[in-house]
Amino acid sequence: MADSPSYDAVVVGAGFAGVYALYKLRQLNLHVLLIDNAEDVGGTWFWNRYPGASSDVHSVVFRYSFDKDDLRSYPWPNHYVTQPEVKAYLGNVVDKYDLRKHIQFKTTLLEAEFDELKSLWNIKASDGITRSARYLVTGVGQLSKKNIPDIKNFGSFRGDIYHTAAWPEHHDFHGKRVGVIGNGSTGSQVLIELAKEAKHVTSFQRNPQWNVPNGNRLVTEEERAHINEQYDEIWDRVKKSAFGFNFLESTTPTFSVSDEERKNIFQKAWDEGNGFNFMFGTFSDITTDEEANKAATDFIKSKILETVKDPQTARKLIPTELYARRPICNNGYYEVFNQDNVSLVSLKETPFTELTPTGAVTSDGVEHPLDALVLATGFDAVTGSYTKINIRGRGGQTLQEYWGDNPRSYLGLAVPNFPNLFTISGPNHPFTNAPPQTEAQVDFLTSVIERAGTRGTAEATLEAEKEWTDLSNKIAEGSLFHKTGGWIFGDNIPGKKHNVLFFFGGLKDYRERQAAIIADGYRGFIITPLT
Ligand code: NA7
């Protein structure tokens, strides 16, 4: 006989994943509490409020697919939504469905322990209350734990230090000399914006990356009306695609067309903008074939050389690695280096030796005077979100202990020995546009919970976890992403073992596998409805 917990489910995180989980579980009429350490909804879109923070997925599909009225009526003026717009959108969903009363903000999950006898989770939060819940659903984000660089005498710097993922509400860079460390999606966005305001901005770049334009522009009323008519078809296409974007993924191999046609295809994608479109909408083999990859990078290289006036800066900006990291796009990245108030330091050539009270010193002995330092240094992705909280499953073992050097799960969602825990965006979740990915995962976990009931237990099997991990590894090995590494494989964190952290099989394949698993009686789960 199972005890009655305080809640049927506790959801952690008020981003895209957690808000949708709350919505879905409330649809089942469950007693649910969502906690989040921020003061409002947004998740990663609450904290990453640095200047220039914007999605690089087209606005049309950077939202939930379930509410057709909202899809047609909610405004998004540009092709990309900015951070304040994403946060406002999530707030709109929460208010429209009257979910706010089920959310407790400014509350951090400290520890959760599974009580094997009672088959429920005891959840300690920063408000000092321990709650019990049958189910624990973590929507803690794949990019939540900040990566802080280890630079000698870091603490000696007397200027302001900002991490882009913990941005204060107010800032003023007018008249200031700012250093930006990092040049990923975030670093490129913040650099472009700060260069409009600051006296001087220095980009401290370790590995240069391949950037393409994002093609951001206003969406006309006619375009929007056309989109509104097409929304069903758009979502159908998105859900049957690999990456969940609103573009056609190419099936054409790079060298199946003439040199001229290839150049035209790259040029068209460059003019339209969008990183995923450039990588996956142009040709089918850019991330699987090194020669095809080189054709793409030769094109981007020609654009860098055309755009950047100073030859030394252009040289430093050209990567030597493959175009096989999470693709980056933005609005005017290469152009910004032509501004008099922007300079580039290659940390590959001259690494940091130390910070001083007034700047940063590099190995050539140059002290770069700085009033502020912006860390756009990324995240301890996927698993980092879990290492800061203690989640204890069977036998009191934490998730970190269970994973060790080998983070793994079933479907990026469930972990053996951690019954009734659902880790949205856990290890080996699909590498796609986040809203449709979280919808797919939440729809699935909701159906597992519905099947098990409010008194039941659902637990992934070791065999299912192994199968999923092997499959994720096998698919990743066929991709050039595997060679380049980066945060997707945990390579950005000193001491973190290179591991695949994503399922690269695509959204369509993921959803089909989920449907087959359900049709097969929730294969890979042991579901025990209790009495
Ligand atoms: P990323 O993509 O991990 O980029 C972090 C950047 O910071 C990258 O250029 C790193 O260089 C650099 N970095 C990290 N640590 C250091 C140290 N110690 N010294 C110098 N430079 C460093 O994070 P983002 O926030 O830009 O983007 C993450 C995702 O968020 C993005 O893909 C979107 O999905 C949203 P490196 O390349 O490692 O040499």
pLDDT of 87-128, one tens digit each?
999 999 999 999 999 999 999 999 999 999 999 999 999 999
Ligand 1 atom nearest to CA at 151: 18
Measure the CA–CA gap between 204 and 187, rounded to whole angstroms.
10
Best probe residue, ligand 1, of 142, 185, 330 (max atoms within 8 Å of C-beta): 185
Tell whether 231 is covered by a domain: no
User: 478 and 415, same structural domain?
Assistant: yes
Tell whether 230 is covered by a domain: no
Cα–ligand 1 centroid distance for 379 (angstroms): 7
Ligand 1 neighbours, Cβ below 6 Å, are 143, 147, 149, 181-187, 206-207, 326, 347, 376-378, 487, 492
Cα–ligand 1 centroid distance for 207 (angstroms): 9
Of 321, 352, 375, the residue that ends a domain is 375
User: 506 and 479, same structural domain?
Assistant: yes
What lies within 8 Å, CB to CB, of 45 at 6+ separation is: 15, 53, 83, 86, 87, 90
User: 163 and 36, same structural domain?
Assistant: no
| Other Cβ atoms within 10 Å of 200 Cβ, number | 20
Its domain, for residue 442, covers: 6-145+381-528
Indicate if the pLDDT at residue 245 is higher than 70.
yes
Tell whether 357 is covered by a domain: yes
Cα–ligand 1 centroid distance for 388 (angstroms): 20
Measure the CA–CA gap between 120 and 394, rounded to whole angstroms.
11
Indicate if the pLDDT at residue 2 is higher than 70.
no
Of 355, 375, 395, the residue that ends a domain is 375
Atom 18 of ligand 1: nearest residue by CA position: 149
Ligand 1 atom nearest to CA at 188: 26
User: 439 and 306, same structural domain?
Assistant: no
Instruction: Give me the half-sphere count of Cα atoms (radius 13 Å) on the Cβ side of residue 411.
Output: 34
Q: What is the mean pLDDT of residues 270-278?
A: 98
153-169 pLDDT, tens digit per residue, is: 999 999 999 999 999 98
Q: What is the mean pLDDT of residues 259-288?
A: 98
Atom 8 of ligand 1: nearest residue by CA position: 182
Indicate if the pLDDT at residue 522 is higher than 70.
yes
Tell whether 233 is covered by a domain: no
Cα–ligand 1 centroid distance for 225 (angstroms): 38
Cα–ligand 1 centroid distance for 252 (angstroms): 31
Q: Please give the mean pLDDT across all residues of the chain.
A: 96
Tell whether 227 is covered by a domain: no
Chain CA centroid to CA 424, Å? 12
Confidence label for 244 from pLDDT (cuts 50, 70 and 90): very high
Put simply, whether the predicted model's pTM sits higher than 0.90 gets the answer: yes
User: 456 and 482, same structural domain?
Assistant: yes
- The two beta strands, 429-430 and 328-330, are unpaired
Per-residue pLDDT, 387: 84
Ligand 1 atom nearest to CA at 184: 26
Exposure string (b/e) for 16-46, b if CB count within 10 Å is 16 or more? bbbbbbbbbbbeeebbbbbbbbbeebbbbbb
User: 461 and 344, same structural domain?
Assistant: no
Confidence label for 34 from pLDDT (cuts 50, 70 and 90): very high
Best probe residue, ligand 1, of 16, 154, 186, 320 (max atoms within 8 Å of C-beta): 186
Tell whether 495 is covered by a domain: yes
User: 313 and 186, same structural domain?
Assistant: yes
Atom 20 of ligand 1: nearest residue by CA position: 206
Confidence label for 3 from pLDDT (cuts 50, 70 and 90): low
Ligand 1 atom nearest to CA at 149: 18
Tell whether 1 is covered by a domain: no
Atom 37 of ligand 1: nearest residue by CA position: 207
Ligand 1 atom nearest to CA at 486: 38
Best probe residue, ligand 1, of 211, 323, 377, 380 (max atoms within 8 Å of C-beta): 377
Measure the CA–CA gap between 64 and 423, rounded to whole angstroms.
19
- Burial (CB < 10 A; 0-12, 13-18, 19+), residue 239, is middle
User: 505 and 393, same structural domain?
Assistant: yes
Per-residue pLDDT, 388: 78
When divided into structural domains, the chain yields a total of 2
Of 353, 375, 397, the residue that ends a domain is 375
Question: In this prediction, does ipTM exceed 0.95?
Answer: yes
User: 273 and 171, same structural domain?
Assistant: yes
What CATH code is carried by the domain that includes residue 397? Answer: 3.50.50.60
Task: Write down the H helix ranges in 49-154.
Answer: 68-73, 83-96
Q: What is the mean pLDDT of residues 124-152?
A: 95
Q: What is the mean pLDDT of residues 417-423?
A: 98
Do 23 and 44 meet the contact criterion of CB atoms below 8 Å apart?
no
User: 515 and 490, same structural domain?
Assistant: yes
Atom 19 of ligand 1: nearest residue by CA position: 149
Per-residue pLDDT, 4: 60
309-364 pLDDT, tens digit per residue, is: 999 999 999 999 999 999 999 999 999 999 999 999 999 999 999 999 999 999 99
Tell whether 455 is covered by a domain: yes
Q: What is the mean pLDDT of residues 470-485?
A: 94
User: 524 and 422, same structural domain?
Assistant: yes
Cα–ligand 1 centroid distance for 479 (angstroms): 21
What lies within 8 Å, CB to CB, of 343 at 6+ separation is: 200, 201, 202, 203, 313
Confidence label for 1 from pLDDT (cuts 50, 70 and 90): very low
User: 360 and 264, same structural domain?
Assistant: yes
Cα–ligand 1 centroid distance for 5 (angstroms): 42
